[in-house]
């Protein structure tokens, strides 16, 4: 058998590589896509690194940062150049554009504020001001959170005040009418509908004196002058009102009362009113 003897000058055959080694930068100095993902976790995703696109940018940023060591930091003045403003934003971590504050969510609305009460245009205007003054993202988020907490507290206080007022006014009606409460309330509602008003949404019906006045008017009016009209349209209107009350997503006062959000007494009254509406629907 023949054997091949190696000589000292022979070199081992290179092992083929499955993939070329990662290059942080291209030949022109621009940083490769995904370079931030290869940084240590504590640096990965840092907002101040997003403004660096090349090795020269990195070197320049490093030199400028070294210059700031031992010097007093001060925000750019009115006559600052765009470059000075950009440098300052990098220093404080502010984004290049107002949209940079919100990230993927598209908004900084706090969870404590319902979406229906949030003003997206107002948020954009605030973020534009925050960007103009190069506010850090952390400060912007805390400011909006503080604002959101105040809105939520104001909303809760308003709802509590509304509930207390309705309960107080409702108690006045029960004391004045006694056993005739349901009948008079139904009469007042019919008079309001005759006048083209919705007793469930119009704020004037939150006052006992107004409801009593409508009930007195109803007693003075003959039955044929109260809301009747086309029975089909009346029946449809009543069904719409029933749907509004029983809809779990409805935020009207009567729907909230029916769900028990404003106390058991109000819930019982709302259930009684729903029963009356169902009876009226059957008679229409």
Overall size of the chain counted in residues: 284
User: Is the confidence at residue 72, as pLDDT, over 80?
Assistant: no
Distance from C-alpha of 16 to C-alpha of 4, rounded to nearest angstrom: 24
pTM over 0.85: no
Nearest to 202 by CA among 216, 188, 220: 188
For 147-183, how does the pLDDT look when each residue is reduced to its tens digit (9 = 90+)?
888 888 877 777 677 677 767 877 888 888 888 888 8
Question: How far from chain centre, in Å, is Cα 107?
Answer: 8
Of 102-106, 133-137, 157-161, where does mean pLDDT reach its minimum? Answer: 157-161
Left, alpha or beta for 45 (phi > 0: left; psi -120 to 50: alpha)?
Answer: left
Q: What pLDDT score does 7 carry?
A: 53
User: What was the pLDDT predicted at 128?
Assistant: 92
In the predicted model, is pLDDT for residue 113 greater than 70? Answer: yes
Instruction: Write out pLDDT tens, residues 195-245.
Output: 777 777 777 777 888 888 888 777 666 444 454 433 344 444 667 777 888
Does residue 15 register a pLDDT over 80? no
Q: What is the pLDDT of residue 1?
A: 47
CA dist., res. 200 & res. 27, Å (int): 72
Distance CA 69, CA 26 (A): 31
**196 is written with which tokens?**
């083209």
pLDDT of residue 232: 43
Mean pLDDT across 121-136: 90
Mean pLDDT of all residues in the chain? 76
Specify which residues 25 forms β-bridges with: 31
201 versus 260: which is more confidently predicted?
260
236 CB neighbour count, 10 Å cutoff: 13
Q: Which of 35-44, 190-199, 201-210, 269-278 has the highest mean pLDDT?
A: 35-44
Task: Tell me the mean pLDDT in the region 118-147.
Answer: 89
Specify the 3-state DSSP secondary structure of 273.
helix
pLDDT number for residue 174: 84
What's the Cα-to-Cα distance from 261 to each of 56, 163, 173, 253, 274, rounded to whole Å? Answer: 62, 9, 20, 9, 16
> What is the separation of C-alpha 97 from the centre of its chain, rounded to a whole number of angstroms?
22
Residue 230's pLDDT is: 39
Please give the share of the chain, as a percent, with pLDDT higher than 70: 78
Q: Is the Cβ–Cβ distance between 47 and 97 less than 8 Å?
A: no
Chain segment 236-247, per-residue pLDDT in tens: 466 777 788 888
Average pLDDT over residues 261-279: 76
């Amino acid at each position: 058998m023949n054997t091949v003897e190696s000589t000292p000058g022979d070199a081992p055959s290179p092992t083929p590589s499955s993939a070329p080694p990662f290059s942080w930068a291209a030949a022109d100095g621009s940083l490769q896509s995904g370079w931030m993902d290869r940084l240590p976790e504590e640096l990965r995703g840092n907002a101040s690194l997003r403004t660096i696109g090349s090795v020269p940018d990195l070197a320049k940023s490093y030199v400028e940062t070294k210059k700031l060591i031992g010097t007093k930091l001060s925000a750019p003045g009115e006559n600052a150049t765009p470059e000075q403003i950009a440098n300052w934003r990098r220093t404080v971590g502010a984004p290049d554009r107002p949209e940079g504050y919100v990230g993927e969510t598209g908004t900084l609305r706090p969870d404590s504020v319902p979406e229906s009460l949030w003003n997206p245009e107002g948020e954009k205007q605030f973020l534009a001001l925050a960007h103009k003054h190069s506010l850090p993202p952390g400060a912007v988020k805390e400011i909006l959170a503080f604002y959101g907490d105040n809105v939520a507290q104001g909303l809760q206080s308003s709802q509590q005040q509304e509930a207390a007022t309705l309960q107080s006014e409702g108690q006045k009606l029960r004391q004045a009418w006694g056993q005739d409460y349901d009948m008079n309330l139904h009469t007042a509602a019919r008079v309001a509908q005759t006048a083209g008003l919705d007793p469930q949404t119009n704020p004037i019906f939150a006052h006992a004196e107004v409801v009593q006045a409508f009930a007195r008017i109803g007693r003075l009016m003959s039955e044929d002058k109260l809301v009747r009209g086309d029975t089909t349209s009346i029946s449809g209107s009543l069904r719409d009102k029933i749907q509004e009350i029983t809809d779990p997503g409805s935020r009207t006062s009567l729907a909230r009362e029916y769900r028990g959000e404003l106390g058991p007494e109000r819930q019982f009254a709302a259930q009684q009113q729903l029963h009356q509406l169902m009876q009226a629907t059957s008679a229409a």
